[in-house]
Structure 1
Amino acid sequence: MTSDPIDYARLDEGRECNYWELDRTLRFEARRVYPDDEFEWAEALLSAFGERLGHEMADTADRIDGAGHELRSFDKYGDRLNEVEYHPSLRDQERIAYEEFRMTHDAFHAPPGRDSPVGLCHPLAMQALLSYVDIGFCCPVSMTTGVAIVLDRFDDGRLDEYFAGLTAATLDDHIEGAMFLTEEQGGSDVGANEVRAEPTDEEGVYELHGEKWFCSNIDAEGALARTPDAPDGVAGLSLFLVPRTKPGGEVNDSHFRRLKDKLGTVSVPTGEIEFQGAEAFLVSEAGRGFKYISEMMNYERLTNAMGAVGVMGRALLEAKVRAARREAFGNPIDEYPLMRRDLVGMAVDYEAAAAFSFEAVRLLDERERAGDDSAAYKLLRLFVPVAKYRTARMAVETTSYAMEVLGGNGYVREHTTERLLRDAQVLPIWEGPSNVLGLDVLRALNRENAHEALLPYVEEKLDAVDHPALESAVETVESRYGELQDALGTLATEDEAFAQYHAKRLADLVFDVVTGALLLDEAQWGIDAEQDGRKALVARRFVETRFAADERFGMADEQFTAVVEYGSVEPAALLDGMAPAE
């Protein structure tokens, strides 16, 4: 199967186009991880969503970012409102996402054309596409799905009305969810949370008291709190659904103090809430809130990774278009070797981030079907923090360089890359900073024995690669895989302080080894199934830049067309002295 290279010069910029059709990396990964029957159903929907995003939602997202939202804590009579006055265009975005494309519905209820719901691969792939235009708006979409996952899995039926609202396919019936964890004194130390929940005379109904410091999607519902006499730490936390208004329509007893004046993600209002006896509904059992919220956290961290994939894809598209259209010294700048080298590097980083993130999504979906005793669960517990940690940083680097490719225009609001960089800066912070994620990698290894699933997983991927053009790259990854095994053995024998000190180095090594094995496996499949060696160039470039002691020199023309513009490569050419990807 061959494909013509994409002519990016035909676009004025990265809009007025179909993001799904232009992003062959995203299409490849979605086809790889979706169950076959689900991808067959979803493909047309993903394409239609890519069309709406590129031709309508991208422009709307820019307008919302420029204007923002406004908090109205009180009305003119001094009565409590706790109301966010949204930019009017946000309603259009919500109608497309929630009603037209059912982003929070189809994983819980059978969509049109199916007899059963789809797996979690689908909403996460949709969120990657949505992040092409606005990772801020992706936040409430994702958290709504995350709250629905928790209720679907743990609620005993008392909150069915809220579950129906979270997963409704009509906007008038739809409500949004949120995850209010952060308190000023606690931050990432969730066990230090102090918001308390006092029981009422009604079973399962409590009153919350205390402050939450960072509440994204401030007018949605959901919080962790501590019941009376609960033990210290995470073991004493319970999970509550906290409506903005009580069932009778009265504003709940809390005070929305202010919205944060953030660098980016303006489309999602983030603020501070002071609970003043707010009515709250206990989710399932008291004292198990951290376990429940961990389920949502897995999903949110993968959303963060898919958001990084989406923002990298958009930034790369903007850079490709600009480089193809901008002339300097008589030629388009994408004809100059240095620019070609840089665009290839950005494209390979994007392929790596997408491959690892979609693999983690596949594991989440498999675990949902197979349960916690599966090898997929052990790998998932390891891959999720690694995916969130690495892709967040990669997104910042990619959007920053895309801005540079656009030159001075890239620093100006009208040209999108400025917003992409502002928005991307939140990705290393949302859902836990890098140090917290490094510690979570250690927990996955120590508590879940994730290495027991990791080692055979890597070996199986590498053993499946047998094309001669990939032999050297396989040997390089195998060598680094040996280093990973040694590192795991060393950390198992050293004390906790030593392990913590090296936790992020270990996470980096896991990402590089697994991604190298994944890309090589994809390259073998591309050669066998599609008679196309493009992925082989991507895999070799990734392995060379991550693991090789010195980057080799070579010509860029063939590699640029294949890697950046998605041109096909005859597998035989991989053995004809073709230079490594530049």
Structure 2
Amino acid sequence: MNYVDLDPALQPLIESYLDSSDQQLLTPVLTTLGADAADRLAPLADVADRNPPTLAQFDREGNRVDTISYHHSYQELSRAAYEEYGLSALSHRGVNGWDDVPPHLVKYILSYVFVQAEFGLACPVSMTDAAARTLRRFGAGVEIAEAVDRLISTDPDRRFTGAMFMTEIQAGTDIAQTGTVAEREGENWRLSGRKWFASNPDADITLTLARYPGGDDTTRGVGLFMLPKRRPDGSKNSYVIDRLKDKLGTRSMPSGEVTLDGAYAVQVGKLERGFRQMAEMVNTSRLSNAMRATALMRRSINEALAHARKRVVFGRSLIEAPLMRMTLLPLQAEAEAALGLVFYSGDMLQRADGGDAGAAAQIRVLTPLAKHFICKRARFVTGEAMEVRGGRGYIEEWPDARLVRDSHLGSIWEGSSNVIALDVLRCMRKQNTHRLLAETMTEKLGAITLAEAGAEILELLSRWKSIVDRGDALLSAEVNDAGSSVAEALIGNYADALAQLIMATLLLEQADVESTRDGNYRKLLVTKAFIAGNITADDTAVAAILPRLEDIVDGASLTSDAVASPAPVA
């Protein structure tokens, strides 16, 4: 089995977004990882989930050590992620055959395949990558340069892992309530306070927030600091791990409570811009959250399809049952739509880093939109896929239950859905990003020449006009008599509708590319299924595509005739 081969949407998107030289370098490592993820890494992930890490706070002499012990399965997964595939280094240096830094999409593509095997480890991998990015953008000095060098290393004797300690009991969403304080110690700082939810708590390098002397009581009074696990002289830094969390999912990876007691720290960037600088790390992790949620969708659908093909009910395979097909087809369409948004967002991030102001404005709002919608939908998709397997799916001996447990993380980590929706509203208020997205997507629709998609093009053009008007109305809404913002109350549903329109447009654009480039109309059927299921709520239109389910999930090459007249259900 190879996870890459099981994904009919992946390779065509790679061909659309990466140039030929990057494709040539990516192909061998992607092929290797696809097989490795299915054959070696997924079984290891099952074992690691059943054997979570443990904390030893003291050694046998009574000395405080705060050592976290990991099962060998997690250690092998870590070697694969950090060393063999360099997932945390890919956005920073040449690895896996690249002499220079590959496009961001290479990292997202390889991570997407890896996460289909193991989700929990992807959190510290993502934080390691994001910590390096943040330190490179805002940090200065020898210590920070050394930290970055080791965060992006694939050398087992040198590599560091990263983390971010933001959440406190009273300051999760409201960072202005941060209670950790920073005091000057020569050129550096001493931090004291308690962090309540710290994933990868024994990381070598942690970015954290603390109040600094003279700062005000807003987020501008919170500075960003680099907290090394060890002081420059090699001694253990002055913080302890109070306990590890007993979590619903991501059980292979530790999260804990940490108390800082005059811990040595290095200032990162300008003190009054600490929260804004930390937002760089958070936003990078948020986009990775959307990617990871998409990977969970893909793996869960693969599991559902494998069961539906094998299971015989009333004399025929389950996948032949019309109602089961009506369950599976929308899940497939959702997963492909999510992957398309991840690809587009990764490409926008690359362009933004290259100085494209329009792309920078887009990725600023695409990141929360992708996290808000995709992470919530992953909970639904993994749940539906688990139900396909029935009672077996509910049993922990199969991967479905773990996929469902892990899927609930994305909507919570790095900002719960309401927080993320308000971030979308903030983007709209500052830059009218709903209008920017509408202009960009309308331009894409205008360039599509696919005659068979005429009805969908007209439908989406109409919807884009409507959603711009709806967004304008949100921004102009007055505070009502009860003192509540109408815009804040409605932004969650609006963000979902906006995300779905973007995904539908990107699907249609990709369908146009594949029909022109490859003569394959499979993607157009997927697009029609997504639009009918998510935009127009036309179940009859979805049902008309059901006869082509196997062709769609198997990545068959279909002519335009398949769009005009699907074969009858067997």
Unaligned runs of 5+ in 1: 1-16
Please give the secondary structure, in 1, of the residue aligned with 2:397: helix
Cα contact 1:211–1:274 (8 A) shared by 2 = yes
Deviation digits for residues 74-100 of structure 1 (CA, Å, limit 9, x no counterpart): 212221112111112222112111111
Q: Tell me how large the CA RMSD over aligned residues is.
A: 1.8
| Residue number in structure 1 paired with 2:388 | 405
CA distance in 2 between partners of 1:195 and 1:23 (Å): 46
CA distance in 2 between partners of 1:209 and 1:26 (Å): 47
Q: 1:541: Cα distance to partner?
A: 1.1
Cα contact 2:529–2:545 (8 A) shared by 1 = no
| Residue number in structure 2 paired with 1:425 | 408
Cα contact 2:8–2:554 (8 A) shared by 1 = no
Q: 1:211: Cα distance to partner?
A: 0.5
Letter in 1 for 2:171: G
Letter in 1 for 2:347: R
Q: Of 555, 569, 574, which aligns to 2:558?
A: 569
Q: More deviation in 252-261 or 290-299?
A: 290-299
Cα contact 1:537–1:581 (8 A) shared by 2 = no
Matches within 5 A, 1:151-300: 151-158=135-142, 159-201=144-186, 203=187, 205-220=188-203, 221-300=206-285
CA distance in 2 between partners of 1:385 and 1:35 (Å): 27
Matches within 5 A, 1:426-575: 426-495=409-478, 497-552=485-540, 554-555=543-544, 558-575=547-564
| Residue number in structure 1 paired with 2:93 | 109
Q: 1:515: Cα distance to partner?
A: 1.2
Letter in 2 for 1:247: P
Unaligned runs of 5+ in 2: 480-484
| Residue number in structure 1 paired with 2:482 | none
Q: 1:168: Cα distance to partner?
A: 0.6
CA distance in 2 between partners of 1:543 and 1:22 (Å): 23
Runs of 4+ in 1 over 4 A off after TM superposition: 553-557, 579-582
Q: Of 66, 70, 82, which aligns to 2:66?
A: 82
Cα contact 1:151–1:283 (8 A) shared by 2 = yes
CA distance in 2 between partners of 1:98 and 1:77 (Å): 33
CA distance in 2 between partners of 1:252 and 1:540 (Å): 57
Distance 1:579 1:433, change over 3 A: farther
Q: More deviation in 279-288 or 554-563?
A: 554-563
| Residue number in structure 2 paired with 1:361 | 346
Letter in 1 for 2:59: D
- Normalization by structure 1: what TM-score? 0.93
Distance 1:84 1:67, change over 3 A: same
Letter in 2 for 1:81: V
Letter in 1 for 2:467: L
Q: More deviation in 30-39 or 294-303?
A: 30-39
Please give the secondary structure, in 1, of the residue aligned with 2:57: strand
Cα contact 1:541–1:580 (8 A) shared by 2 = no
CA distance in 2 between partners of 1:123 and 1:573 (Å): 35
- Normalization by structure 2: what TM-score? 0.95
Q: 1:542: Cα distance to partner?
A: 1.0
Deviation digits for residues 418-472 of structure 1 (CA, Å, limit 9, x no counterpart): 1111111111101111111111011111123323521221111111223221111
CA distance in 2 between partners of 1:515 and 1:236 (Å): 38
Please give the secondary structure, in 2, of the residue aligned with 1:19: coil
CA distance in 1 between partners of 2:567 and 2:495 (Å): 31
Letter in 2 for 1:156: A
Cα contact 2:293–2:378 (8 A) shared by 1 = yes
Q: Quick one: percent identity of the two aligned structures? A: 33
Please give the secondary structure, in 1, of the residue aligned with 2:71: coil
Q: 1:71: Cα distance to partner?
A: 0.7
CA distance in 1 between partners of 2:222 and 2:343 (Å): 32
Q: 1:548: Cα distance to partner?
A: 2.0
Are 1:138 and 2:122 an aligned pair? yes
Deviation digits for residues 334-370 of structure 1 (CA, Å, limit 9, x no counterpart): 1111111111111011111111122111111111112
Q: 1:536: Cα distance to partner?
A: 0.6
Please give the secondary structure, in 2, of the residue aligned with 1:413: coil
Deviation digits for residues 234-281 of structure 1 (CA, Å, limit 9, x no counterpart): 111111111222233322111210000001101110000010111111
CA distance in 2 between partners of 1:126 and 1:103 (Å): 7
Cα contact 1:396–1:421 (8 A) shared by 2 = yes
CA distance in 1 between partners of 2:547 and 2:516 (Å): 21
Distance 1:573 1:331, change over 3 A: closer
Deviation digits for residues 145-172 of structure 1 (CA, Å, limit 9, x no counterpart): 0001011212223311111110112122
- Larger relative contact order (CA 8 Å, sep ≥ 6): 1
Q: 1:105: Cα distance to partner?
A: 2.1
Please give the secondary structure, in 2, of the residue aligned with 1:118: coil
Q: 1:36: Cα distance to partner?
A: 4.0
CA distance in 2 between partners of 1:581 and 1:503 (Å): 41
CA distance in 2 between partners of 1:294 and 1:33 (Å): 27
Q: 1:549: Cα distance to partner?
A: 5.0
CA distance in 1 between partners of 2:114 and 2:61 (Å): 40
Distance 1:470 1:487, change over 3 A: same
Please give the secondary structure, in 1, of the residue aligned with 2:436: helix
Letter in 2 for 1:434: S
| Residue number in structure 1 paired with 2:103 | 119
CA distance in 2 between partners of 1:316 and 1:581 (Å): 21
Distance 1:536 1:72, change over 3 A: same
CA distance in 2 between partners of 1:580 and 1:541 (Å): 17
